[in-house]
């Protein structure tokens, strides 16, 4: 009995392999795939993000922004005669899937470069491979120390960092409220990023003579009464929120419920219109988010108009206001500009060479100019505080990027 | 401060109790451990989004729509998925409900996108002051509706003929079949009720924060609620839900927010070791 | 019926075995070079698979085998399997990252830690059965992952616990091919070991216990000790798999061992067929490789504007999940015995067809 089942299970396995061998012989042999992802009529560019997992609410939208900008470029003829083909791999926020997807983009369906990489754990795990490898990461969604320090010619951050978010947000509020020794509360979900963000906030506040307390909340929270009661005890001058959509919504609703009028700002990732809409105009009156990107439709700069008009024509009228969409769009812009500089013969090596010499991305108003130098790959560093105008259902900014430049130091 | 935490726990627990009640009804009737109950909660929130924001129905009609759609979903799932698997081992059916929740989640994300939608129901906002304690009207409404539902179903199971038949069905299938009752109809009714209860919970959760597929995680806290209260007991599920809500808030306030989940699961372990049939359940007799 | 003490394989079976061995040996070259005997193959022809995926599949096979041993053979349903992976990862963190022990000793320590954790997790089985026991394993899962999280936050960075590249003497496990060379024999070894253990006296007692506990007790089987032993062995294997998993990813947080991770092993053994060890190998392969295969079949081009094209490209990730879960549902409805059940019925049908006059 055992022998025949063993033989049969081996048979079953062998049949499977035979089937795939047959598949091989039935179809034509594959052409010699260029190792760089550059073909005669197209260039393959990789994206590695969470498109169906717990953070897909923001990361999925980023991918849409990235894809749409590339689509706009392709409709206008592509870059130097080649269309950009976006190969987006879903990692479901799972480091094992991330590792598989990364390998896929590097050697199975090779791409010239990768954008995104939204899982911090995977960034840390893959950092040695990336830095020693051949595929550059152009425009990350999140930044980790392992990948960003020391500065590597293989990595270019594409999203505002937590440190800069903390500095700008704290600096603005301390100035505006004229605080000598500010008391701040960081309300964060219990993840790696949350703790890191609080450390930066505490550092920024400490430099200005104040102190910051750290409150945590779980990701699937439904009610923040314990945290609000704690806030009532601490009596902060302003609050900063780090988390997912419901973290911000529950915080503001809770504050409103207890009649607390405390200015609050959230991180850039919390810049989606549905977050404000869910809070309601009363609760959202005290809430803004700090952002290095401008939501689509919030102002009339050339970059913003171009994004808005294109988004409207392809049915992304609502999505264009989501900050993650804009971030993806801008990363694609960065990618496209880098490719344009390479001319008719792009290769991975030449891409890395061009990028590492330093370059500036001018997004025509969507962000402050983003400058990369051989010693600084931080990405966007200048911010604005953005709130929601319920009268016209659009975002509005508090000041210009230039007003906030002093906080970037 | 203690009363504040206690009342917020009670409000939260009412919603858990509602979802847990739906779970218990399904379990009692069809012996299925429905892992997709969390997704039924999400479906409820998205039915609300469809009715209010997309179809722009007036609120009373929207409520009818939500209840109707949720009941239909439950009935369909029983007809298409659960009925063919009756008699199969428990693990296969559990796996089916897990696969179902994955499929539902993917479908919702294709139709609505992964980013979550704000729910704009005309439910009351504002705060009620009872002495030192502040209770938001929304929490109060959620608690009231939950209690009405639970009381309603308690009466339904106790006093209507259909309810009595369902209870009989759950206790002894064969006897009921012999009396000429269509067991499948009873089971479908149970699934319809179970998914409707979850959907109502979902509407409140969506209004309290945001309608997104992430609500599934919250819906799954109904599981320990049902076990602590007693898997086969309807009042047990409700009490279990309230307890879980209160314990969660208390642990988050007096220990640490991180600990609230672990406290509940340690309690679950203790109950399973000491009194596995839950606080209100009945000791099960096994036959050889 | 001839009674042979050693099962003899026919010449045909030996040929199949050799062929399989040859294919398995060639597989890493095939997937790394992306060419068959020098002729290059496209990604679709290789079913959108890579060697990293195969390695992770092999690690999961260890998990599926151990869970099937526990659930399918000993009759103890557990959804806390991720907890034992976490135990192994934690053991590896303590003994390697913190104490610097050599790799083989770390794996041994992981196995012992897993056996201990398994015995403790099996204790509720002395008190409760069936669904209630399943729930106790769920609770165990949350407790263990909480401990892992606390441990990680206390001794390591919030971003995860790092693991150095493992080495056997001078031989470093730093390429997918080397991992394959380690994992494949390990899986075969564990498979043979578990199969042999099921043929032993205790193994047969376990199967009896699964089928009818009271009857087994009546013939003198001590079910309580047997259950704990099954749990200990199963958890030891899972723990070693967890340590290997942590080394392979080189950086893990407790999130890697969440409830979804545990559930996927249940899926593997159900798809493979409960009680069939070879089935769980197939189940693991299907669960891990099928999403990639489905994903590889859909186009990646962002060009087309019509509805179907848009759906395939923009919602590709969700579509893969949808198709995959529907396939699982269909499979569960129509093939209750899993792949092993299907294989048996196919074999019976084939033999019945051959036996027709």
String of DSSP letters for A262-283: --EEE-GGG--HHHHHHHHHHH
Nearest CA in chain B to A56: B114
d(CA C187, CA C170): 23
Chain C residues with CB under 8 Å of A14 CB are 16, 19-20, 23
| Averaged pLDDT, A153-160 | 92
* DSSP reduced 3-state for A78: coil
Contact C270 B92 (CB under 8 A): yes
User: How many A/B residue pairs have CB atoms within 8 Å?
Assistant: 109
State the total domains in chain A: 2
Cα–Cα distance, A83 to A96 (Å, whole number): 31
Tell whether A403 and A266 lie within a shared domain. Answer: yes
CA distance A381 to A378: 7
What torsion, rounded to 10 degrees, do the Cα atoms A274, A275, A279, A284 define? -110
Please check whether residues A273 and A130 belong to one and the same domain.
Answer: no
Q: Which candidate in B45, B118, B120, B244 is best for mutational testing of the A interface (most A CBs within 10 A)?
A: B118
Do B92 and C266 lie within an 8 Å CB cutoff? no
State the pLDDT confidence band at A191, using cuts at 50, 70 and 90.
confident
Q: Which of B102, B269, B286 sits opposite C139 (nearest CB)?
A: B269
- Do A403 and A275 share a domain, yes or no? yes
Residue A172 shares a structural domain with residue A272:
yes
Only one residue has tokens 């010619």, namely A153
Give the gyration radius of chain A's Cα atoms.
23
B208 in contact with A at a CB cutoff of 8 Å?
yes
User: Confidence band (pLDDT; 50, 70, 90) for C183?
Assistant: very high
Mutate to test the interface with A, among B257, B258, B265 (most CBs of A within 10 A): B257
Cβ–Cβ below 8 Å for A257 and B118: no
CB contact under 8 A, A30 and C36: no
Q: Is some CB atom of chain B closer than 8 A to the CB atom of A192?
A: no
Of A5, A109, A121, the CB nearest to C160: A121
| Residues B115, A218: C-beta atoms closer than 8 Å | no
Beta-carbon separation of A14 and C23 below 8 A? yes
Nearest to C329 among B99, B272, B276 (CB): B99
The one-character DSSP state at C72 is I
A191 shares its domain with A246 = yes
Residue A110: closest C-alpha in chain C:
C43
Cβ-count burial of C245 within 10 angstroms (0-12 exposed, 13-18 middle, 19+ buried)?
buried
A245 & A305 share domain? no
Mean per-residue pLDDT for C141-169?
88
| Per-residue model confidence as pLDDT tens digits over C242-264 | 999 999 999 999 888 988 899 88
C318 to B91: CB separation less than 8 angstroms, yes or no: no
Task: Locate the DSSP E strands across C119-256.
Answer: 161-162, 167-168, 171-172, 251-252
Calculated CA dihedral for residues C94, C99, C100, C104, nearest 10 degrees: -50
Chain C residues touching residue B286 (CB < 8 angstroms)? 129
Q: C248 to chain A: which residues are within 8 Å by CB?
A: 99
Are the beta carbons of B210 and A227 separated by less than 8 Å? no
Range of the domain at A46: 42-161+299-378
B257 contacts A217? CB cut-off 8 A: yes
Cβ <8 Å between C322 and B81: no
Q: What is the CB neighbour count within 10 angstroms for residue A34?
A: 14
SS3 at position A155: strand
Residues in chain A within 8 Å Cβ distance of B113: 60-61, 319
Of A14, A33, A99, the CB nearest to C40: A33
Are residues A192 and A146 located together in one domain of the fold?
no
Q: What is the pLDDT along chain B (288 residues), one digit of tens a residue?
A: 888 889 889 988 999 999 999 998 898 888 888 989 999 999 999 999 999 988 888 989 999 999 999 999 999 999 999 888 887 887 888 889 989 999 999 999 999 988 889 888 888 878 888 888 888 888 888 889 888 988 888 888 888 888 888 878 777 777 777 888 888 888 999 999 999 999 999 999 999 889 998 888 887 788 888 888 887 777 888 889 999 999 999 998 888 887 888 898 888 888 888 887 888 877 765 554
Q: Is the pLDDT of residue C92 over 50?
A: yes
In a domain, A216, yes or no: yes
* Crossing angle of the two packed helices B161-171 and B137-159, in degrees rounded to 10: 80
Region of poorest pLDDT, from A193-207, A378-392, B265-279: B265-279
Same domain? A286 vs A231: yes
Domains of chain C listed by start with CATH number: 51-352 (1.10.3470)
Lowest mean pLDDT among A59-63, C5-9, C49-53, C156-160: C5-9
Give the per-residue pLDDT at A28: 41
Give the global pTM.
0.89
B209/A222 touch (CB, cutoff 8 Å), yes or no: yes
Mean pLDDT over A273-280 rounds to: 91
Same-domain check for residues A271 and A400? yes
Beta-carbon separation of B273 and C124 below 8 A? yes
Q: Which two tokens stand for residue A404?
A: 């906030």
The pLDDT confidence band at residue A2, using thresholds 50, 70 and 90, is low
User: Quick one: A175 and A230 in the same domain?
Assistant: yes
Q: Which residues of A touch B246 (CB under 8 A)?
A: none
How far B83 CA sits from the closest chain C CA (Å)? 10
Instruction: Kindly report the CATH number assigned to the domain that includes residue A109.
Output: 3.40.50.2300
Residue of B nearest to A231 (CA): B253
Confidence of residue A16 (pLDDT cuts 50, 70, 90): low
Q: Which of C158, C282, C303 sits opposite A192 (nearest CB)?
A: C158
Chains in contact with A via at least 3 Cβ–Cβ pairs below 8 Å: B, C
Q: Searching chain A, which residue's CA lies closest to the CA of residue C342?
A: A12
Judged by CB atoms closer than 8 Å, whether chains meet at C321 and A52 is answered as: yes
Indicate whether A70 belongs to any domain.
Answer: yes
Cα–Cα distance between B109 and B216 in angstroms, integer? Answer: 13
Q: What is residue A386's predicted lDDT score, i.e. its pLDDT?
A: 92
The CA distance from B192 to the nearest CA of chain A, in Å, is 26
Residues of A in contact with B258 (CB under 8 A): 190, 216, 218
How far apart, in whole angstroms, are the C-alpha atoms of residue C63 and residue B49? 41
Q: Give C57-87 pLDDT, tens digit per residue.
A: 999 999 999 999 998 888 888 888 999 999 9
ipTM: 0.87
Q: Are residues A198 and A337 in the same domain?
A: no
Q: Which residue of B has its CA nearest to C270?
A: B92
**Are B260 and A219 in contact (CB < 8 Å)?**
no
Note if the bond before C112 is cis, omega within 30 degrees. no
**Residue A318 neighbours by CB distance under 10 Å:** 16
What count of other Cβ atoms lies within 10 Å of the Cβ of residue A324? 27
Are residue A282 and residue A306 in the same domain, yes or no? no
**A221 neighbourhood in chain B, CB within 8 Å:** 257
* pLDDT, averaged across chain C: 86
C-alpha separations of C354 from A349, B236, C201, C348, C350 in Å: 62, 58, 36, 10, 6
* Residue A319 distance to chain B (closest CA, Å): 9
Best of A226, A250, A284, A325 to mutate (most B CBs within 10 Å, chain B): A226
Q: Where is pLDDT greater, at B188 or A408?
A: B188
The yes-or-no verdict on residue C108 having pLDDT over 70 is yes
Q: How far is CA B209 from CA A107, A269, A279, in A?
A: 43, 17, 8
Here the tokens at position A185 are 């509360």
User: Residue A222 and residue B218: Cβ atoms within 8 Å?
Assistant: yes
Q: Give the model's pLDDT for residue C1.
A: 47
With a cut of 80, say whether residue A11 has pLDDT above it: no
Our CA-based measurement puts residue C184 at a distance from the nearest CA of chain B, in whole angstroms, of: 28
Interface test with B, best of C79, C83, C139 (most B CBs within 10 A): C139
pLDDT at residue C64, as a whole number: 95
Q: What are the strands, taking DSSP E only, across A83-232?
A: 83-90, 114-116, 137-140, 155-157, 183-189, 211-217
Range with the lowest mean pLDDT among A100-104, A175-179, B183-187, C33-37? C33-37
Which H/E stretch holds residue A372?
Answer: strand A370-372
Which of A163, A166, A395, A406 lies closest to A293, judged by CA?
A395
Q: CB distance C130–B90 less than 8 Å?
A: yes
Distance CA A360, CA A381 (A): 13
Cβ–Cβ < 8 Å for A168, A407: yes
Residue A117 lies in a domain: yes
């Amino acid at each position: 009995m055992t022998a025949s089942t063993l033989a049969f299970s081996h048979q079953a396995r062998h049949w499977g392999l035979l089937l795939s061998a047959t598949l091989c012989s039935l179809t034509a042999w594959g052409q010699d795939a260029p190792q760089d992802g550059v073909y005669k009529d197209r260039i393959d560019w990789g994206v590695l993000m969470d498109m169906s997992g717990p953070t897909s609410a923001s990361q999925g939208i980023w991918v849409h922004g990235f894809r749409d900008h590339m689509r706009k470029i392709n409709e206008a003829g592509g870059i130097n005669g080649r269309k950009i083909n976006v190969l987006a791999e879903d990692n479901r926020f799972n480091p094992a899937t991330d590792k598989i997807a990364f390998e896929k983009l590097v050697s199975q369906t090779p791409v010239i470069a990768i954008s995104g990489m939204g899982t911090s754990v995977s960034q840390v795990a893959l950092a040695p491979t990336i830095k020693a490898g051949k595929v550059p990461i152009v425009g990350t969604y999140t930044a980790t120390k392992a990948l960003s320090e020391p500065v590597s010619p293989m990595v270019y951050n594409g999203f505002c960092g937590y440190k800069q978010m903390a500095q700008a947000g704290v600096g603005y509020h301390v100035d505006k409220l004229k605080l000598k020794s500010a008391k701040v509360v960081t309300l964060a979900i219990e993840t790696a990023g949350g703790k890191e963000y609080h450390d930066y906030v505490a550092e920024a506040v400490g430099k200005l003579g104040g102190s910051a307390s750290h409150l945590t909340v779980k990701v699937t929270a439904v009610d923040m009464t314990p945290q609000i009661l704690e806030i009532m005890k601490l009596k902060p001058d302003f609050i900063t929120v780090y988390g997912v959509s419901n973290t911000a919504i529950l915080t503001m609703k809770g504050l409103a419920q207890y009649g607390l009028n405390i200015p609050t700002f959230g991180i850039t990732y919390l810049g989606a219109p549905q977050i404000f809409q869910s809070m309601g105009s009363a609760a959202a009156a005290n809430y803004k988010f700090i952002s290095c990107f401008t939501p689509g439709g919030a102002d009339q700069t050339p970059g913003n108009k171009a994004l808005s008009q294109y988004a409207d024509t392809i049915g992304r009228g609502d999505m264009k206001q989501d900050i993650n969409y804009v971030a993806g769009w801008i990363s694609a812009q960065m990618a496209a500009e880098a490719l344009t500089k390479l001319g008719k013969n792009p290769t991975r090596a030449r891409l890395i060479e061009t990028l590492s010499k330093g370059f500036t991305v001018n997004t025509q108003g969507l962000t402050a100019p983003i400058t990369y130098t051989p010693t600084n790959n931080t990405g966007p560093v200048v911010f604005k505080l953005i709130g929601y105008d319920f009268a016209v259902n659009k975002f509005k900014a508090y000041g210009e990027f230039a007003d906030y430049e002093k906080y970037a130091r | 401060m203690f009363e504040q935490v206690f009342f917020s726990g009670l409000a939260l627990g009412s919603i858990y109790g509602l979802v847990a009640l739906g779970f218990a009804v399904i379990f009692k009737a069809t012996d299925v451990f429905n892992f997709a109950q969390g997704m039924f909660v999400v479906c409820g929130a998205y039915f609300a989004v469809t009715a209010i924001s997309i179809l722009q129905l007036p609120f009373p009609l929207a409520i009818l729509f939500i209840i109707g759609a949720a009941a239909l979903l439950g009935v369909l799932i029983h007809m298409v998925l659960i009925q063919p698997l009756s008699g199969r081992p428990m693990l296969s059916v559990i796996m089916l409900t897990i696969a179902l929740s994955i499929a539902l989640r993917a479908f919702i994300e294709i139709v609505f996108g992964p980013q979550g939608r704000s729910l704009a129901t005309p439910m009351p906002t504002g705060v009620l002051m009872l002495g030192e304690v502040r209770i938001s009207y929304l929490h109060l409404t959620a608690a009231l509706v939950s209690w009405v539902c639970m009381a309603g179903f308690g009466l339904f199971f106790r006093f209507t003929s259909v309810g009595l038949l369902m209870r009989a069905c759950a206790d002894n299938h064969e006897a009921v079949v012999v009396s000429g009752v269509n067991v499948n109809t009873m089971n479908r009714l149970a699934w319809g009720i179970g998914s409707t209860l979850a959907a109502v919970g979902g509407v409140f959760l969506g209004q309290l924060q945001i309608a997104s597929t992430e609500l599934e995680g919250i819906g799954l806290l109904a599981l320990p609620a049902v076990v602590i209260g007693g898997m086969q007991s309807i009042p047990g599920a409700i009490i279990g839900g309230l307890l879980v809500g209160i314990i969660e808030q208390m642990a988050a306030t007096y220990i640490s927010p991180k600990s609230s989940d672990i406290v509940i699961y340690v309690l679950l372990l203790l109950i399973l070791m000491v009194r596995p049939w839950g606080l209100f359940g009945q000791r099960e007799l096994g036959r050889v | 019926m001839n009674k042979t003490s050693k099962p003899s394989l026919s010449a045909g079976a030996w040929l199949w075995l050799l062929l399989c061995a040859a294919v398995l040996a060639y597989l890493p070259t095939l997937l790394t070079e992306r060419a068959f005997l020098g002729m290059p193959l496209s990604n679709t022809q290789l079913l959108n698979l890579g060697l990293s995926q195969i390695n992770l599949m092999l690690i999961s096979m260890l998990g599926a085998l151990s869970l099937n041993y526990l659930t399918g053979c000993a009759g103890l349903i557990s959804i806390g399997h991720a907890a034992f992976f976490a135990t192994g990862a934690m053991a590896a963190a303590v003994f390697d990252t913190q104490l610097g022990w050599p790799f083989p000793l770390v794996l041994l320590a992981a196995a012992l830690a897993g056996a201990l954790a398994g015995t403790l997790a099996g204790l509720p089985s002395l008190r409760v059965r069936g669904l209630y026991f399943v729930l106790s394993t769920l609770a165990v899962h949350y407790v263990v992952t909480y401990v892992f999280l606390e441990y990680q936050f206390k001794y390591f960075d919030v971003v995860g616990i790092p693991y150095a590249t493992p080495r056997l003497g001078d031989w470093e496990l730093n390429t997918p091919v080397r991992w394959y060379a380690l994992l494949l024999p390990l899986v075969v070894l564990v498979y043979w070991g578990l199969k042999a253990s099921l043929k032993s006296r205790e193994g047969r007692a376990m199967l009896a216990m699964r089928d009818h506990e009271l009857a087994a007790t009546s013939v003198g089987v001590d079910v309580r000790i047997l259950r704990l032993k099954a749990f200990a062995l199963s958890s030891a294997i899972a723990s070693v798999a967890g340590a290997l998993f942590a080394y392979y990813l080189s950086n893990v947080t407790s999130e890697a061992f969440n409830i979804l991770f545990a559930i996927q092993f249940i899926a593997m053994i159900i798809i493979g067929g409960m009680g069939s060890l070879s089935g769980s190998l197939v189940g693991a392969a299907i669960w891990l490789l099928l999403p990639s295969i489905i994903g590889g079949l859909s186009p990646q081009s962002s060009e087309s504007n019509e509805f179907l094209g848009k759906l395939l490209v923009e919602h590709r990730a969700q579509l893969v999940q949808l198709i995959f879960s529907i396939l699982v549902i269909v499979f569960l409805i129509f093939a209750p015995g899993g792949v092993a059940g299907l294989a048996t019925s196919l074999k019976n049908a084939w033999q019945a067809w051959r036996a027709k006059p």
